[in-house]
Structure 1
Amino acid sequence: MRGLTFCGRVWPFRLLSGVSSSLKQTPLYNYHIEKGGKMVPFAGWSMPVYYANQGVLSEHIHTREYASLFDVSHMLQFKILGKDRIRFLESLVVADIEEMPFGSSVLSVFTNENGGIIDDTVICKHADHLYVVSNAACADKDLAHVRTKMGEFQKKGGWVDLKVIDDRALLALQGPLAAEILRKLCDKDLSDFMFMTARFLHVKTIESHVSRSGYTGEDGFEISVAATSAQRLAKLILGYPSVHFAGLGARDSLRLEAGLCLYGHDLDDSVTPVEAGLSWTIGKRRRVEGGFLGANRILSQLKGGVARRRVGLTIEGAPARENAEIYNSDDELIGKVTSGGPSPTLNKNIAMGYVKSGYHKSGTLLKVKVRNKLQDAKIVKMPFVPSRYHK
């Protein structure tokens, strides 16, 4: 076992020459090997961290300038069904699903009884079901939580059911050329296909559920297809010279530049949406009615404030790693870094972390301890790199 360093974080990954029988494989596993993917264990899956002829930095820059294809089939996909599906899911998340138009998506969070974040999730509303995607590392925990609450809901007479989607792959096409490439493959005008909406499309002849979203800050799409069609779809997309495969390394550095959270680092079950700077995910009606787990604490924080807040920082000197301590000008410890590293786009070191309220305003000068040395840091607005979503 040796660490791989990307986005300023040392990840305890082991490059695999084969694959452990205990690790799951996505439908594209063999294709990743064929294309030079350096496979690592991640959240119980064997996943490409980068590709031999490219590397993390090259994949990051290529995504920003052209387009990249990410295999995200390890993510948990499931459907919520039944006539009471909206009422049920609204008891677990902070989003206002009732008011969402069909075909729209929303970023939300599952909360616990104390208002902490169990996981972040994307929910898409269709006429006969809710399509939900959440993190691979939280899959078992998420399913156990949803099933437990579903059992309680059903005992009270609620009509709801859950179907795990385990026969489909999920591919993310991200970058400024993503829409042009998908338009060619679908032979459709996608100009009215807006950010955080979803459609059922035929990509060539492949039936696909396509949402205009992603985890890079760039325009792009997440495409859910039958597992048996995944390699064919990947080959069609990679048939365009402007598209390259990209792995976990670039995915992490891109999401940091976009100011997007990574569960288990920037979010966990002790952090509330208000502390995390995710108050905007709480629907207007939900702020009045509540009705989700931890609502009392979360709604009181919306009115009365919080003791800590997630912030973005630029840092002079060496990159700040996770758990690096943050100090004010009086050398008082006021927080810690949760994600950090070099920004290939900005050519400077950036980080996210939590600091005491009062030190969270843009322009505030602080210090971050790196290698036992205090380095200058400044609070800046996020995203670090402007997003280019199609709105």
Structure 2
Amino acid sequence: MAGQSNDDLPLRTPLYERHVALGARMAPFAGYDMPIQYGKGILHEHLHTRASAGLFDVSHMGQALLVGPDHRTTAAALETLVPADIAGLGLGRQRYTQFLNEQGGILDDLMVSRGPDPADDGKLVLVVNAGCKEADYVHLDLNLPDGVKLERRDDKALLALQGPQAVAVLARYDEAATAMGFMTVASLTIGGIPVFVSRSGYTGEDGFEISVANSDAVALWDLLLSNPEVEPVGLGARDSLRLEAGLCLYGHDINQETSPVEAGLTWSIQKRRRTDGGFPGYRRIMRELAEGTLRQRVGIQPQGRAPAREGTEIMDMNGELIGEVTSGGFGPTAEGPIAMGYVARDFAGVGTDVQLSVRGKLLPASLVPLPFVAHRYKR
């Protein structure tokens, strides 16, 4: 990535100078100097994304290729590390999954795509979390069999265009964007710039993630921002959007101790993998699917206006500790404080009344369904 001068300074994405020019408040995040918010603030950026189209720089994420002789071989190699059905991933499709350890805990969560071109058979595109990517790449290098190799794509930037007007904006440059369904991928041309696009994102809204060469990232950013519907959005609103959407943040809502079953991610483990196994932590996961878990991720609606931040203790109505908040804050669209966390299974039912220990006071809350704001993906 551009802009690194020594090991003590954060990395910069190719769009760093654009963020500074736009007046962004920059801060270190996952080793990168990233925009937290721009001049109009997090609340405006959040609501603009819900109403129109927000443009995010997510180039800190890790992009890589797995390359093998054919899809069957490459998919089989990845399936030894993740619980998703990668062999059944069709051309032009994307799937969410997790790297698991031998105890069934989550090392990282990631997106896996198979390109639309049959000529690329044997290649899988991976997008992993910024804070985990170096460990993920080591994990892959140590565990991939002969004949399947990892290729880092540090030459690629990643932009996310999210919101109900995102498709209209992209379709101005390439009408093929309109035909894409949720969790599909395609090679498009945006203003003469070749890009690899997935119809997915981290906001709960319809939208796209756009992989582009570092050398073209600034031109693409400027082109997309030239559309009246599009405004830049920082990581602050990205977090409030994903929280309202009930989406997990690695290192907070999921980690090496958390299983996909506890986290409510069993939908990402397809039937064949539950039957055949062959991934780390299979015994624990199958036991939890059959018998239930000791704890469960839940949505939490605090009463009043005080937010419940990460680490807040969750008590039952008798004052006994039953869990902890893992993500919390103000939901602009939900119009109040919202949180996610884990509670003991016996207390995890929707509608359960609980108490939150906030600054030494027990505040009332209740458990509610996730997500807090309905997803609006293109189905």
Q: Normalized against structure 2, the TM-score is what?
A: 0.94
Corresponding residue to 2:124 among 103, 125, 130:
130
Equivalences for residues 34-183 of structure 1 within 5 A: 34-51=21-38, 53-83=39-69, 84-126=73-115, 127-150=121-144, 153-154=145-146, 159-183=147-171
Q: What is the rounded CA distance, in whole Å, between the counterparts of 1:264 and 1:117 in structure 2? A: 10
Q: Go from structure 1 to structure 2 and tell me whether the alpha carbon gap of 1:227 and 1:131 turns closer, same or farther (over 3 Å shift).
A: same
Contact 2:176 2:188 in 1 (8 A): no
Q: What is the rounded CA distance, in whole Å, between the counterparts of 1:236 and 1:342 in structure 2? A: 32
Tell me the percent identity: 49
Q: Which runs of 5+ in 1 are unaligned?
A: 1-17
Corresponding residue to 2:350 among 362, 366, 372:
362
Secondary structure in structure 1 of the residue aligned to 2:104: coil
Q: What is the rounded CA distance, in whole Å, between the counterparts of 1:341 and 1:33 in structure 2? A: 26
Contact 2:171 2:178 in 1 (8 A): no
Q: What's the CA shift for 1:20?
A: 8.7
The number of residues matched between the two structures is 366
Please state if 1:347 is matched with 2:335: yes
Q: What is the rounded CA distance, in whole Å, between the counterparts of 1:287 and 1:21 in structure 2? A: 45
Please state if 1:201 is matched with 2:195: no
Aligned equivalent of 2:366: 378
Contact 1:109 1:119 in 2 (8 A): yes
Q: Normalized against structure 1, the TM-score is what?
A: 0.92
Please state if 1:241 is matched with 2:228: yes
Q: What is the rounded CA distance, in whole Å, between the counterparts of 1:365 and 1:21 in structure 2? A: 47
Aligned equivalent of 1:14: none
Contact 1:97 1:125 in 2 (8 A): no
RMSD: 1.3
Equivalences for residues 234-273 of structure 1 within 5 A: 234-273=221-260
Q: What's the CA shift for 1:19?
A: 11
Aligned equivalent of 2:118: none
Q: What's the CA shift for 1:192?
A: 2.5
Q: What is the rounded CA distance, in whole Å, between the counterparts of 2:178 and 2:223 in structure 1? A: 21
Q: What is the rounded CA distance, in whole Å, between the counterparts of 1:304 and 1:346 in structure 2? A: 34
Return the letter of the residue paired with 1:190: A
Q: What's the CA shift for 1:189?
A: 4.6
Secondary structure in structure 2 of the residue aligned to 1:63: helix
Please state if 1:287 is matched with 2:274: yes
Contact 1:19 1:46 in 2 (8 A): no
Q: What is the rounded CA distance, in whole Å, between the counterparts of 1:224 and 1:383 in structure 2? A: 27
Secondary structure in structure 2 of the residue aligned to 1:80: strand
Q: What is the rounded CA distance, in whole Å, between the counterparts of 2:245 and 2:173 in structure 1? A: 27
Give the stretch that moved more between structures: 210-219 or 82-91: 82-91
Return the letter of the residue paired with 1:375: L
